[in-house]
C-alpha cells in the first residue's frame, strides 16, 4: 500500500499520512456511490439537510482541533485555521435553508398546458478541491452536491489530505454509508475519477487542470462545474479614500500569503494619486509579519511548497529585470517563505501582470483616465473577481459594470451576500455554486406537463 505524506510547509516535517487510493479501487467506489444514491435521493431535502446540520454542530465543537490540523498542514496561522473551520460550521445552516427553497418543484401554466419543473439529483458527483482553503473549498461544492441528492467521491488536494480526511470523517458520522467517500491521491487519482462512470465533476483549482478535466469529461458529456484561477484587478480611482484602498490592497494581496483565488493580483491606480497610495501601502506592509502556524504574532505563513515559492520568486525577478520598481521587500526571503513585496511601474507585458502569481506580491501600474483603467483591467483571459475604490459611488458602480469579472466589489471585497453565486467569468469559471441558482447546477431539471383540460 502506498501512502500520501502530508508535510508541514513551515518545516518540511511530516504532519501525518493517509493511504493513497489505488486507481483500480475507484470503479468499485463509484458502484457503491451509485447504490447509496438511490436511498439518499429518496430522502427529502429536509432529511438530507438534517444530517448536515448535525455535522455543523460537531464542526463548531471540534473547531480548535480541526483548525490546528488545518494550520499545520496548510501553513496558515492558527486563528485563521480555526476561523476557517468555524466559517464552515456557520455556513451550513444558511445553505440548507437555500436548498429548501431552490429544490422545490416549480409549477407553471399557460392557456393549454400545466407544467412542473423538478430538480432531481444527477447521480454520482466527483468533488476535487485545492489546498489553499482545505475545508471551505470542498464544502462549497460538497454541500450543494449532497443536498441535491447526489452521492460524492471527494478528492482533497494531495497537499492537504489530512484535513480533507478529517472533514469527510466528521460528515460521515451523520451521513448514510457511502454517500460520501474519499479518494486520496494526486493528479492521477483526479483523472481516474473524472474518467470513471460518474455524472458530474465539481472542481476548484487551476485553469490548466480545469482544461484537462473538461477534455476528459467530453466523451461522457459529463456535467461540469469548474471554479478556476484568477488575476484579479483593483482599480483605485482619483477620488478614492486612499487609506481604505491601501488597507484593502494590502490585505487582499498578502492574506493567506497571496494564495487565494480572489487575492488582488494587479493594482491600477490613477496617476494623480499614485504616490500617495504607494506611501500608504508601504507603511501598511510593515504589519505583515511572517511565521509558522503556531506563532501568534504571525500574519502570514509559509508558501505551500517550494515549486510555488520559486514560481513567485521567478515572476518577481523577471518583473524587476523588465523595469519594475521595488517599493517594499528585498531578495532576502527566509527559506519556505516569501516576504510581502510591492512592485510599482509594472507593465502589461510582464508575466507578473498576466499569469496567476498566487503569492504575497502587490503589483502596481498607474493609469491616466478611466478608459485606460478599464482597458488594462479587462486585458486578461481570467475573470474571477475585481474591486473598484472611488468616493463617487455612482461612478465607481458604473466602472464596475464595465469590468469583465464575475464578482465585483465597490469599496469592498468582491464577496457578495449569501444569496449570491460564487461565479467566475471567462476562463476563471464554468458553472458556479452558491445561491438558489447555484444549486440547480448540481441537478437534473426534469419537466412534466399535462394538458390543462385533462
Ligand atoms: P490544482 O489544479 O493543481 O489542483 C487542484 C486539485 O485538482 C487537486 O486535488 C489536484 O490533485 C487535482 N488535479 C490536478 N490536476 C488534475 C487533473 N488533470 N484532473 C483531475 N484532477 C486534477 O490547483 P491547486 O494548486 O491545488 O490550487 C490552486 C489553484 O486553485 C489556483 O489556480 C487558484 O486560483 C485556484 N482556486 C480557485 C478558486 C475559485 O473559487 N475559483 C478557489 C480556490 C483556488
Residue-range domain boundaries for the chain: 3-229+426-451, 232-381+385-417
Region 109-113: mean pLDDT is 97
From ligand 1's centre to the CA of 399, what distance in Å? 31
Q: Which atom of ligand 1 is nearest to the CA of 194?
A: 20
Protein residue whose Cα sits closest to atom 30 of ligand 1: 205
d(CA 204, CA 209): 9
Pick the CATH number of 3-229+426-451 from 1.10.1740.10, 3.30.1490.190, 3.40.50.300, 3.40.605.10: 3.40.605.10
| Catalytic one of 73, 227, 255, 265 | 227
Q: What is the pLDDT of residues 333-365, one digit of tens each?
A: 999 999 999 999 999 999 999 999 999 999 999
Burial of 428 (0-12, 13-18, 19+ CB in 10 A): buried
Q: What is the pLDDT of residues 273-325, one digit of tens each?
A: 999 999 999 999 999 999 999 999 999 999 999 999 999 999 999 999 999 99
Region 400-422: mean pLDDT is 97
Count of alpha carbons within 13 angstroms of residue 353, beta-carbon side: 25
Q: Is the pLDDT of residue 453 over 90?
A: no
Q: Is the pLDDT of residue 433 over 90?
A: yes
Q: Which of 65, 283, 314 is nearest to 169 (CA)?
A: 65
* Mutational pocket test of ligand 1: of 209, 358, 414, the residue with most ligand atoms within 8 Å of the beta carbon: 209
Determine what percent of the chain is predicted with pLDDT higher than 70. 100
Contact by Cβ (8 Å): 321, 345: no
Count of alpha carbons within 13 angstroms of residue 193, beta-carbon side: 30
Burial of 13 (0-12, 13-18, 19+ CB in 10 A): exposed
Q: Is the pLDDT of residue 331 over 80?
A: yes
* Mutational pocket test of ligand 1: of 18, 206, 307, the residue with most ligand atoms within 8 Å of the beta carbon: 206
- Ligand 1 interacting residues, C-beta cut-off 6 A: 128-132, 137, 155, 157-158, 186-187, 190-191, 194, 204-206, 209, 212-213, 227-230, 261, 356, 358, 384, 424, 428
Whole-Å CA distances, 353 to 236, 320, 324, 405: 16, 12, 11, 16
d(CA 31, CA 339): 48
From ligand 1's centre to the CA of 131, what distance in Å? 8
Q: What is the pLDDT of residue 1?
A: 86
Whole-Å CA distances, 195 to 23, 126, 201: 11, 10, 10
Residues with Cβ within 8 Å of residue 180, at least 6 apart in sequence: 142, 146, 151, 152, 154, 168, 171, 172
Count of alpha carbons within 13 angstroms of residue 341, beta-carbon side: 29
Q: What is the pLDDT of residues 7-39, one digit of tens each?
A: 999 999 999 999 999 999 999 999 999 999 999
d(CA 379, CA 377): 6
Q: Which atom of ligand 1 is nearest to the CA of 422?
A: 40
Q: pLDDT averaged over the chain? A: 98
Instruction: Based on the residue annotation, tell me whether 13 is a catalytic residue of this protein.
Output: no
From ligand 1's centre to the CA of 122, what distance in Å? 23
Contact by Cβ (8 Å): 298, 267: no
Q: What is the pLDDT of residues 235-275, one digit of tens each?
A: 999 999 999 999 999 999 999 999 999 999 999 999 999 99
Fold match, 3-229+426-451 / 232-381+385-417: no
Residues with Cβ within 8 Å of residue 239, at least 6 apart in sequence: 390, 391, 392, 395
Third-level CATH fold of 232-381+385-417:
Aldehyde Dehydrogenase; Chain A, domain 2 (3.40.309)
Amino acid at each position: 500500500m502506498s501512502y500520501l505524506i502530508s508535510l508541514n510547509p513551515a518545516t518540511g516535517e511530516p504532519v501525518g499520512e493517509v493511504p493513497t487510493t489505488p486507481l483500480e479501487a475507484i470503479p468499485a467506489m463509484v458502484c457503491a456511490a451509485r447504490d447509496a444514491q438511490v436511498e439518499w435521493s429518496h430522502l427529502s431535502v429536509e432529511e438530507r439537510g438534517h444530517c448536515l446540520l448535525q455535522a455543523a454542530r460537531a464542526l463548531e465543537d471540534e473547531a480548535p482541533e480541526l483548525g490546528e490540523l488545518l494550520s499545520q498542514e496548510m501553513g496558515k496561522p492558527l486563528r485563521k485555521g480555526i476561523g476557517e473551520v468555524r466559517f464552515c460550521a456557520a455556513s451550513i445552516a444558511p445553505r440548507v435553508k437555500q436548498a429548501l427553497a431552490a429544490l422545490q418543484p416549480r409549477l407553471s401554466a399557460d392557456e393549454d398546458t400545466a407544467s412542473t419543473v423538478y430538480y432531481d439529483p444527477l447521480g454520482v458527483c466527483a468533488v476535487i478541491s485545492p489546498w489553499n482553503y482545505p475545508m471551505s473549498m470542498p464544502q462549497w461544492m460538497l454541500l450543494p452536491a449532497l443536498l441535491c441528492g447526489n452521492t460524492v467521491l471527494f478528492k482533497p488536494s494531495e497537499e492537504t489530505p489530512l484535513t480533507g480526511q478529517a472533514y469527510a470523517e466528521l460528515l460521515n458520522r451523520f451521513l448514510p454509508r457511502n454517500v460520501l467517500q474519499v479518494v486520496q491521491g494526486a493528479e492521477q487519482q483526479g483523472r481516474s475519477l473524472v474518467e470513471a462512470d460518474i455524472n458530474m465533476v465539481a472542481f476548484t483549482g487551476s485553469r490548466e487542470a480545469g482544461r484537462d478535466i473538461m477534455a476528459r469529461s467530453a466523451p461522457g458529456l459529463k456535467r461540469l462545474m469548474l471554479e478556476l484561477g484568477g488575476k484579479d484587478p483593483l482599480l483605485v480611482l482619483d477620488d478614492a479614500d486612499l487609506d481604505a484602498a491601501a488597507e484593502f490592497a494590502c490585505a487582499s494581496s498578502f492574506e493567506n500569503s497571496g494564495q487565494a483565488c480572489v487575492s488582488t493580483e494587479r493594482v491600477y491606480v490613477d496617476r494623480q494619486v499614485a504616490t500617495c497610495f504607494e506611501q500608504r501601502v508601504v507603511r501598511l506592509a510593515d504589519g505583515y509579519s511572517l511565521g509558522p502556524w503556531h506563532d501568534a504574532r504571525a500574519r502570514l505563513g509559509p508558501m505551500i511548497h517550494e515549486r510555488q515559492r520559486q514560481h513567485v520568486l521567478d515572476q518577481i525577478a523577471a518583473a524587476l529585470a523588465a523595469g519594475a520598481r521595488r517599493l517594499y521587500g528585498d531578495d532576502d526571503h527566509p527559506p519556505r517563505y516569501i516576504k510581502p513585496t510591492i512592485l510599482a511601474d509594472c507593465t502589461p507585458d510582464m508575466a507578473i501582470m498576466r499569469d496567476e502569481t498566487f503569492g504575497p506580491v502587490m503589483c502596481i501600474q498607474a493609469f491616466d483616465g478611466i478608459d485606460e483603467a478599464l482597458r488594462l483591467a479587462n486585458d486578461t483571459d481570467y475573470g474571477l473577481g475585481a474591486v473598484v475604490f472611488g468616493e463617487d459611488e455612482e461612478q465607481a458602480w458604473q466602472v464596475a459594470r464595465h469590468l469583465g469579472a464575475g464578482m465585483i466589489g465597490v469599496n469592498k471585497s468582491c464577496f457578495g451576500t449569501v444569496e449570491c453565486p460564487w461565479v467566475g467569468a471567462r476562463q476563471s469559471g464554468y458553472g458556479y455554486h452558491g445561491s438558489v441558482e447555484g444549486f440547480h447546477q448540481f441537478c437534473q431539471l426534469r419537466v412534466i406537463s399535462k394538458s390543462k383540460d385533462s
